[in-house]
């Protein structure tokens, strides 16, 4: 039995040796368990439902296969995410196409692939889609994203449901704009959508949003629209640190379904199909990132910097949102006597702090360090800053491990570079 830190049944030091660092490690077993927790909660509530996994969180062809095999749907938010899904063999009828500024080519692509739903984000987009569908004589089912005016307690940059937001139709205009589809030949309103933000730990804003959405649903039904579904977006928070509150989907989902049943009854409207779009709660706890410790710098009387061989290029969230992470040294026991307070930094030419303050057991050059809960918005937000190569992603399933995405090579970094004629010798 190994003394090393074990993730999803695997010795993390052995994984770092086998695949190199920095390394994204994803557990298929944890991903599936997280998806099934949500499906089971809906089943136990007896709801008509669907789960759209939010692809922006973590997406590649292998991940699409996992989502497809779970029988759930996929939310994509760009031509690139859509292409990835279709290329993996994902059924387009189960794809919901999002984006606050889809361009003409993306709308054409979505129609070309016959995606199941397009989520219209603006009046402009509705006009575009009407023209396109008329031209192609092709029907399309749409949802309308509205901003329900709910302020969720989360980081300002990931609050998306308040009135002052670039996303969605303002509630005050939604009824009139959505009503226009009654006169359209090919654009069919299947439902309405909202996403109030991400990393939300409290149930209240979700329940409030569901009420606002049901009011709009009722108004649209009374206007003669034939909609049947309400998509409440994603946003379920996860505990990045031990002391963080955790959002319990198992208790929340039946509560939300009951609440909506009651509200639908009060409003004398049929209970809609409920759709959720979880991303972080599915993927974040299913991933860790392994690094090798390099420079350890002690500033006497001030602090110790522990630098790892990755950083803001593979995990921009601390720099972007001040996000907190927990970490462990994989090759050492969590021995209290060895604990020192340190700052974990990346190797970019920026201050590049990954973890501002954490207790680790006397970190030294050569140690393997795991940052925990990095499965969401890390790989998908990674960049090539400093011309770092994006790390490999590996997938664990039971006792197996395999590469899901290859580590970029130096050649990959220059493959799209061109030298204009006047710069040639």
Give the footprint of ligand PLP on residues 341-370 (CB under 6 A): none
| Contact criterion met (CB below 8 Å) for 198 and 247 | no
Taking CA atoms, 94 is separated from 125, 167, 399, in Å, by 21, 23, 31
**Structure tokens, 23:** 């390394």
Q: Which of 236, 247, 379, 388 binds ligand PLP (CB under 6 A)?
A: 236
Q: Quick one: 10 or 280, whose CB is closer to ligand PLP?
A: 280
Task: Kindly tell me the burial class for residue 415, based on how many C-beta atoms sit within 10 Å of its own C-beta (0-12, 13-18, 19 or more).
Answer: exposed
Q: Quick one: 283 or 312, whose CB is closer to ligand PLP?
A: 283
Site string for ligand PLP, 74-93 (x = CB under 6 A): -x------------------
**Structure tokens, 397:** 């399933």
Does 55 sit near ligand PLP (CB under 6 A)?
A: no
Count of Cβ atoms closer than 10 Å to residue 304 Cβ: 16
Q: Give the angle 62-66-157 at the CA atoms, nearest 5°.
A: 85
Give the footprint of ligand PLP on residues 151-210 (CB under 6 A): 195, 198
53 annotated among ligand-binding-site residues: no
Does 144 sit near ligand PLP (CB under 6 A)?
A: no
The span of 248-256, 277-285, 388-396, 400-408 binding ligand PLP (CB under 6 A) equals 277-285
How near is the Cβ of 317 to ligand PLP at its closest, in Å? 12
How near is the Cβ of 377 to ligand PLP at its closest, in Å? 7
**Structure tokens, 27:** 């557990």
Measured CA to CA, the distance from residue 276 to residue 254 in angstroms comes to: 13
| Contact criterion met (CB below 8 Å) for 287 and 24 | yes
Q: Which of 64, 194, 330, 349 is catalytic?
A: 349
Measured CA to CA, the distance from residue 61 to residue 81 in angstroms comes to: 10
The span of 10-18, 214-222, 230-238, 396-404 binding ligand PLP (CB under 6 A) equals 230-238
| Contact criterion met (CB below 8 Å) for 168 and 98 | no
**Structure tokens, 271:** 């209970």
CA dihedral 162, 82, 39, 121 (to 10 degrees): 20
279 annotated among ligand-binding-site residues: yes
- 349: annotated active-site residue: yes
Backbone angles phi, psi at 121, to 5 degrees: -105, -15
277 annotated among ligand-binding-site residues: yes
Q: Quick one: 195 or 373, whose CB is closer to ligand PLP?
A: 195
Pairing of strands 273-276, 6-7: unpaired
Does 278 sit near ligand PLP (CB under 6 A)?
A: yes
CB-based burial, 187-201: b 16+ in 10 Å, e otherwise: bebbbbbbbbbbbbb
350 annotated among ligand-binding-site residues: yes
Q: Quick one: 199 or 307, whose CB is closer to ligand PLP?
A: 199
Measured CA to CA, the distance from residue 111 to residue 186 in angstroms comes to: 12
Q: Which of 35, 54, 82, 328 binds ligand PLP (CB under 6 A)?
A: 54
**Structure tokens, 301:** 């009387």
37 annotated among ligand-binding-site residues: no
Does 280 sit near ligand PLP (CB under 6 A)?
A: yes
How near is the Cβ of 184 to ligand PLP at its closest, in Å? 23
Coil, strand or helix: which one is 350? Answer: coil
Query: Which segments of 49-102 does DSSP mark as H helices, in order?
Result: 61-69, 79-87
The span of 130-138, 227-235, 291-299, 304-312 binding ligand PLP (CB under 6 A) equals 227-235
How near is the Cβ of 309 to ligand PLP at its closest, in Å? 27
Measured CA to CA, the distance from residue 297 to residue 306 in angstroms comes to: 7
Coil, strand or helix: which one is 334? Answer: coil
Q: Which of 68, 125, 277, 367 binds ligand PLP (CB under 6 A)?
A: 277
Coil, strand or helix: which one is 229? Answer: strand
The span of 50-58, 106-114, 387-395, 408-416 binding ligand PLP (CB under 6 A) equals 50-58
188 annotated among ligand-binding-site residues: no
217 annotated among ligand-binding-site residues: no
Site string for ligand PLP, 90-109 (x = CB under 6 A): --------x-----------
Q: Quick one: 98 or 332, whose CB is closer to ligand PLP?
A: 98
Does 318 sit near ligand PLP (CB under 6 A)?
A: no
Q: Which of 4, 12, 21, 57 binds ligand PLP (CB under 6 A)?
A: 57
Does 233 sit near ligand PLP (CB under 6 A)?
A: yes
Cis status, amide bond into 221, omega within 30 of 0: no
> Where do contacts with ligand PLP occur on this chain (CB under 6 A)?
54, 56-57, 75, 98, 195, 198, 233-236, 277-281
| Annotation: binding site for substrate | 280, 317, 321, 350, 377
What residues act catalytically? 349
């Amino acid at each position: 039995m190994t003394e090393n830190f074990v993730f999803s049944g695997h010795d993390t030091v052995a994984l770092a040796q086998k695949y190199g660092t920095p390394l994204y490690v994803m557990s298929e077993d944890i991903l599936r368990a997280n998806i099934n927790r949500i499906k089971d909660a809906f089943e136990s509530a007896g709801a008509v439902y669907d789960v759209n996994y939010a692809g922006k969180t973590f997406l590649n062809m292998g991940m699409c296969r996992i989502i497809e095999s779970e029988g759930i749907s996929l939310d994509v938010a760009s031509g690139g995410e859509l292409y990835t899904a279709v290329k993996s063999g994902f059924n387009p009828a189960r794809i919901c196409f999002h984006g606050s500024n889809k361009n003409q080519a993306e709308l054409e692509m979505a129609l070309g692939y016959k995606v199941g739903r397009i989520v219209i984000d603006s009046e402009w987009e509705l006009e575009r889609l009407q023209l396109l569908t008329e031209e192609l004589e092709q029907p399309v089912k749409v949802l309308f994203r509205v901003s329900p005016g709910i302020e969720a307690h989360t980081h300002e940059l990931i609050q998306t449901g308040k009135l002052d937001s670039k996303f969605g139709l303002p509630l005050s205009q939604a009824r009139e704009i959505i009503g226009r589809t009654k006169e359209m030949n090919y654009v069919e309103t299947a439902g309405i959508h909202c996403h109030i933000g991400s990393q939300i730990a409290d149930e209240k804003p979700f329940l409030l949003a569901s009420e606002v959405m049901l009011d709009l649903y009722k108004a649209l039904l009374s206007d003669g629209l034939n909609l049947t579904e309400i998509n409440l977006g994603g946003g379920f928070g996860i505990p990045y640190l031990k002391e963080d509150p955790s959002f319990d989907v198992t208790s929340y989902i039946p509560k939300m379904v009951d609440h909506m049943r009651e509200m639908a009854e009060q409003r004398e409207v049929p209970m809609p199909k409920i759709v959720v779009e979880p991303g972080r709660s599915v993927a974040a706890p299913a991933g860790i990132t392994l690094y090798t410790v390099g420079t350890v710098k002690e500033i006497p009387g001030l602090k110790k910097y522990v630098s790892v061989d990755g950083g803001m290029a593979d995990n921009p969230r601390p720099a972007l949102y001040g996000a907190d992470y927990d970490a462990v040294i994989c090759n050492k026991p969590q021995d209290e006597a060895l604990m020192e307070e340190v700052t974990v930094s990346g190797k970019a030419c920026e201050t590049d702090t990954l973890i501002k303050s954490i207790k680790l057991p006397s970190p030294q050059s050569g140690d393997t360090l795991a940052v925990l809960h990095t499965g969401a918005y890390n790989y998908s937000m990674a960049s090539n800053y400093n011309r770092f190569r994006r790390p490999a992603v590996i997938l664990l399933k039971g006792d197996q491990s395999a590469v899901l995405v290859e580590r970029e090579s130096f050649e990959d970094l220059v493959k799209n570079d061109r030298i204009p004629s006047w710069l040639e010798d």
